[in-house]
Amino acid sequence: QHKVLKDAINSEASTATTKGEKRKLPSSPKQQKLSSRLAAKRSRQNVSSFPG
């Protein structure tokens, strides 16, 4: 049951992140790469912050 809840939270967070990324699309490819790297780092932190 906990795993299902965690999956739901993870999917929710990822969709929110993609929505935010789509809203403020960076113009230059350098900015795009930077934002994607930041998003990856953020998602990795979110996953590690969950217990278990």
pLDDT at 21: 56
Sequence-distant (6+) residues with CB within 8 A of 9 are 50
Mean pLDDT of 16-21: 57
Res. 32: pLDDT tops 60: yes
Domain ranges of the chain: 2-49
Sequence-distant (6+) residues with CB within 8 A of 46 are 10, 13
Mean pLDDT of 2-18: 68
pLDDT bin (cut points 50, 70, 90) of residue 35 is confident
pTM: 0.31
Backbone φ and ψ of 51, nearest 5°: -70, 150
Sequence-distant (6+) residues with CB within 8 A of 25 are 32
Higher pLDDT, 39 or 46: 39
